[in-house]
């Protein structure tokens, strides 16, 4: 039996991120899509953030739902993301999802990798 953890906002999902995810889901025409945020080893600072769309919940995923949009986090990534905010930013360098992470002791210039 699959058990999905739902916790009280361990990771914040900004208005801009919710709006962009909703827009992308509508563009795909697949209401089952959810945004997965994860941490992997790599990047210039040791760890890097990743984002993907997923239709499946893994047994131990944490689900953050805001305004009908779901964000998924696996248990390994969760420990690095508690208290962080997922945002969507548009600027001169392009558009992207970014993580504002109070747990990171340093980040790279592009904002996609960090160290603890």
Q: Residues at the annotated binding site for iron-sulfur cluster?
A: 44, 108, 110
Q: DSSP E strands: which ranges in 9-110?
A: 12-13, 34-41, 47-54, 62-66, 69-73, 85-91, 94-100, 106-107
Cβ–Cβ under 8 Å, residues 32 and 55: yes
Cβ–Cβ under 8 Å, residues 113 and 48: yes
Identify the three-state secondary structure at position 108: coil
Residue numbers in the known binding site are 44, 108, 110
Cβ–Cβ under 8 Å, residues 97 and 20: yes
């Amino acid at each position: 039996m699959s058990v999905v953890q739902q916790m009280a906002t361990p990771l914040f999902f900004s208005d801009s991120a919710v709006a962009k995810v909703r827009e992308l889901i509508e563009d795909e025409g697949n209401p089952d899509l959810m945004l997965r945020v994860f941490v992997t080893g790599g990047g210039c600072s040791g760890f890097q953030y990743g984002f993907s769309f997923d239709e499946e919940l893994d047994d131990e995923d944490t689900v953050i739902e805001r305004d009908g949009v779901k964000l998924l986090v696996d248990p390994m990534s969760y420990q690095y993301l508690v208290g962080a905010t997922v945002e969507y930013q548009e600027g001169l360098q392009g558009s992207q999802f970014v993580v504002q992470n109070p747990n990171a002791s340093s980040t790279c210039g592009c904002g996609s990798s960090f160290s603890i």
